[in-house]
């Protein structure tokens, strides 16, 4: 929506540094999607490097950063060697298994744990292309490849420990697993039926699994020790008001379960969705008004009542007086009426590449199943492009 999130990210990183200062940990894991794009703006790079520099001055001896589907392998790798001087392990791609094994040591240099840093695994990293393979065969081979990669890393970790079973192994990865709850702002990772990857993917050797990709903090399935930490700030109005967390995980020396503490991240800027009739909208906006350092951002959905330019202007005026910024006013009624009406004329700018593709497919005389296959293929292409360098 054309707004910079620099302030919120700055405040979050300052808060995180303070948390780690007051409560030092042996290792910090950042489970991918360090940046939102392959070509991050300079302010974002500055925040990243300054954070890692400041953290290196505190007591955190290990930082593990893995690449996500939004990250460019080239961007993350370019400063990998330099960052290793600050005890930051950047694992950008899955091409080198040894690199994914990070030995965590205490202040006497004795090993106290292993972190298996598994980045977002691109198709070409885990699957050999075979000519003439069908879409389903490719998807199957991909899932097999991902599972094998996780197993191989876990095996290598066990081998590194050489029988010392009291040392915990922590896995970290960036992927979408079955049964997880999405919001509408995660860019789709779509590789075949990747949704079929369930928590059985994760090797038994792992004592805890820190996952990235989904924006909502959550457990995977019924397991307490497989978790998505979620994003530190809400990235769209679909996440408005959602609590955000970092997880502080303590793994006991005995074989017992890890101790997990969810530490709530302050809401540095409030995002709120207001759904209301025209008559009630002023009251609803007044209800959320508080004295915040950063202006509250709202999205207003008008469900009923007289609409028009005048109403939109009135909403913006009310909000401005209350130090609230209106990012969007949506007309719910109009939208549902339009959806019923087939003759929506949209400009190309309003459509996503997927929607354009779907519209084109509608012109073809093919059955639903076949159309689904084409759509899946197209999603795969989009997710590949998203993961590449974009300018």
Q: What angle do CA 26, 31, 32 make, to 5 degrees?
A: 140
Residues 48, 54, 57, 62: is their CA dihedral positive or negative? negative
User: Residue 226 and residue 5: Cα distance in Å, rounded?
Assistant: 29
| Total residues in contact with Mn ion, by rule CB under 5 A | 4
According to DSSP, the residues that pair with 66 across neighbouring strands are 91
- In angstroms, give the least distance from the CB of 181 to Mn ion: 15
Q: How many CB atoms lie within 10 A of CB 149?
A: 19
- Cα–Cα nearest to 315, from 291, 360, 337, 285: 285
- The least distance separating Mn ion from the CB of residue 50, rounded to whole angstroms, comes to 23
| Options 63-71, 157-165, 248-256, 328-336: segment touching Mn ion (CB under 5 A) | 63-71
User: Of 40 and 168, which CB lies nearer to Mn ion in the complex structure?
Assistant: 40
Least distance from Mn ion to the Cβ atom of residue 71, Å? 8
Rounded CA gap, 257 and 168, in Å? 11
- Nearer to Mn ion by Cβ, of 69 and 229: the residue is 69
69 versus 205: smaller Cβ distance to Mn ion:
69
Handedness of CA 228, 233, 236, 239 (dihedral sign): positive
Residue nearest to Mn ion (CB): 213
Q: Which is nearer to Mn ion, 213 or 225 (CB)?
A: 213
Buried b (16+ CB within 10 A) or exposed e, 199-226: bebbbebbbbbbbbbbbbbbebeeeebb
**Cβ–Cβ under 8 Å, residues 39 and 391:** yes
Residue 69 makes contact with Mn ion by CB under 5 A: yes
In angstroms, what is the minimal distance from the CB of 96 to Mn ion?
A: 21
CB of 31 to Mn ion, least distance (A): 9
Q: How far is CA 366 from CA 134, 173, 360, 362, in A?
A: 18, 38, 12, 9
CB of 125 to Mn ion, least distance (A): 16
Q: Which is nearer to Mn ion, 38 or 68 (CB)?
A: 68
Closer residue to Mn ion in complex, CB, 33/239:
33
State yes or no: residue 232 binds Mn ion (CB under 5 A): no
- The residue range among 12-20, 69-77, 79-87, 362-370 that interacts with Mn ion, by the rule CB under 5 A, is 69-77
Q: Of 91, 69, 93, which Cα lies nearest the Cα of 189?
A: 69
Q: Which is nearer to Mn ion, 70 or 127 (CB)?
A: 70
Instruction: Answer for the pair 116, 153: CB distance below 8 angstroms, yes or no.
Output: yes
Per-residue binder mask for Mn ion (CB under 5 A), 185-214, x = binder: ----------------------------x-
> Rounded to the nearest 5 degrees, what angle is found at the Cα of 78, between the Cα atoms of 15 and 66?
50
Return the number of the residue (188 or 282) whose C-beta is nearest Mn ion.
Answer: 188
In angstroms, what is the minimal distance from the CB of 247 to Mn ion?
A: 17
| Cβ-proximal residues to 199 (8 Å cutoff; 6+ apart), any chain | 177, 178, 179, 220, 221, 223, 226
Least spacing, CB of residue 38 vs Mn ion, in Å: 13
For Mn ion, the binding residue among 38, 40, 67, 68 (CB under 5 A) is 68
Nearer to Mn ion, 31 or 251 (CB): 31
Nearer to Mn ion, 193 or 277 (CB): 193
The interface with Mn ion within residues 21-60 (CB under 5 A) comprises 33
Q: How far is the CB of 216 from Mn ion (least distance, A)?
A: 13
Q: According to CB under 5 A, which residues from 315 to 334 bind Mn ion?
A: none
145 near Mn ion, rule: CB under 5 A: no
Taking the complex as a whole, the smallest distance from the CB of residue 318 to Mn ion amounts, in Å, to 37
Which listed range, 64-72, 82-90, 94-102, 340-348, lies at the site for Mn ion (CB under 5 A)? 64-72
By CB under 5 A, name the binding residues for Mn ion: 33, 68-69, 213
């Amino acid at each position: 929506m054309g707004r910079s999130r620099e302030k919120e990210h700055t405040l979050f990183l300052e808060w995180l540094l303070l948390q780690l200062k007051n409560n030092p940990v042996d290792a910090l894991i950042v489970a991918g999607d360090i940046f939102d794009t392959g070509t991050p703006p300079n302010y974002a790079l500055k925040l990243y490097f300054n954070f890692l520099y400041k953290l290196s001055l505190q007591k955190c001896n290990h930082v593990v950063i893995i690449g996500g589907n939004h990250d460019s392998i080239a961007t993350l790798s370019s400063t990998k060697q330099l960052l290793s001087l600050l005890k930051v392990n950047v694992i950008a791609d899955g091409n080198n298994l040894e690199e994914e094994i990070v030995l965590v040591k205490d202040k006497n240099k004795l090993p106290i744990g292993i972190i298996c840093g598994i980045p977002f695994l691109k198709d070409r990293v885990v699957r050999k292309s075979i000519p003439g393979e069908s879409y389903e065969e490719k998807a199957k081979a991909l899932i097999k490849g991902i599972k094998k990669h996780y197993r191989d890393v876990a095996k290598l970790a066990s081998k590194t420990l050489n029988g010392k079973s009291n040392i915990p192994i922590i896995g970290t990865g960036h992927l979408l697993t079955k049964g997880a709850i999405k919001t509408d702002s995660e860019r789709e990772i779509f590789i075949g039926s990747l949704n079929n990857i369930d928590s059985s993917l994760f090797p038994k050797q792992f004592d805890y699994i820190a996952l990235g990709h989904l924006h909502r903090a959550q457990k995977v399935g019924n397991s307490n020790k497989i978790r998505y930490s979620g994003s530190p700030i809400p990235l769209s109005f679909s996440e408005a008001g959602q609590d955000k967390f970092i997880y502080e995980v303590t793994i006991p020396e005995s074989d017992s379960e890890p101790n997990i503490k969810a530490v709530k991240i302050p809401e540095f800027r409030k995002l709120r969705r207001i759904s209301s009739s025209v008559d009630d909208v002023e009251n609803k906006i007044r209800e959320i008004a508080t004295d915040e350092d950063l202006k509250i951002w709202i999205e207003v959905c008008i469900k009923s009542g007289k609409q028009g330019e005048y109403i939109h202007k009135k909403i913006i005026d009310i909000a401005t007086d209350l130090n609230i910024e209106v990012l969007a006013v949506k007309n719910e009624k109009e939208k549902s009426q339009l959806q019923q009406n087939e003759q929506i004329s949209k400009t190309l700018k309003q459509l996503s590449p997927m929607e354009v593709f779907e519209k084109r497919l509608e012109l073809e005389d093919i059955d639903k199943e076949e159309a689904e296959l084409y759509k899946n293929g197209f999603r795969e292409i989009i997710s590949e492009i998203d993961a590449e360098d974009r300018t």
